[in-house]
Amino acid sequence: MSKLTHLDDTGAARMVDVSAKDATAREAVAEAIIVLSAQAFDAANSGTAKKGDVLATARIAGIMAAKKTSELIPLCHPLPISKAEIHFVPLETQPGYRITATVKTVSQTGVEMEALTAASVAALTIYDMLKAVDKGAHIEGVRLISKTGGKSGSYHAPRESTQDAPKPTPAPRRSAPSASPLKLNPKRASPAALMSEVSAPRPTTTLDREAFRSFMVDHRLRATDWAKKADVPVSQLYAFLTGRARGLPADLAERLASAAGVRVDDMFGRKK
């Protein structure tokens, strides 16, 4: 096992002496993932969060954190940072963001900790800005993506990222009860067209969607966990929540209601 440079010969912690090293150009990129509820994600994207512009505030917080890393991590060197940049990219299969922090310096030691701290604090700031809407938001996958410069050379993390879970495999189609065969009129529609009509989601109203979102918040239901428990593709749940789908198919709504221990009408705030 390699010797840890932050420990001396007696095992005591120390700041590494870099005075003999040459100052060279160094860069580090780190990422953090924050997963949000659909409601919190909408608030961040639309700028309607009560505390203000979520992403602008998180960007400033991340840059400030990079500059103050040595005040937060005891054995880090104070560095002359020449660049600190924060980017936010929406996740593909769930509400949330992949936060990327890029930090540069010309110094005798690297800026890996500055990049990691910047990404982490940016994620924490998003949580702080949105916790009134979603206290269950969670941060994951904080890691170094790459670094260049210095004696140890370059490093690049494996391409596979934790930013999005693999797209869920659609639930197997359940067999419908046997019924008398349909008499098709070939002049009216083909079997494929009829299947499309049968499987199309029931139209819904904006009020239904808002009631559904409120139900999730009131019952503290996270879309990914709920969909998994109900054996429902989470992509279909998000499509409905974000308005990309006009409604939920009846069989999926039944499964979601069963997993939550309620009636379908309860999820949409409908009175019998």
Instruction: Report the catalytic residues.
Output: 128
d(CA 143, CA 29): 9
DSSP 19: T
d(CA 127, CA 272): 38
36: left (phi over 0), alpha (psi -120 to 50) or beta: beta
Q: What is the DSSP string of 23-36?
A: PEEEEEEEEEEEE-
- The closest alpha carbon to 219, from 185, 259, 260, belongs to 260
Q: What is the DSSP string of 245-266?
A: SS---HHHHHHHHHHHTS-HHH
> Taking every pair of C-alpha atoms in the chain, what is the biggest distance, in angstroms?
89
Q: What is the DSSP string of 166-219?
A: PPPPPPPPPPPPP-PPP---TTT--HHHHHHHHHSPPP--HHHHHHHHHHHHHT
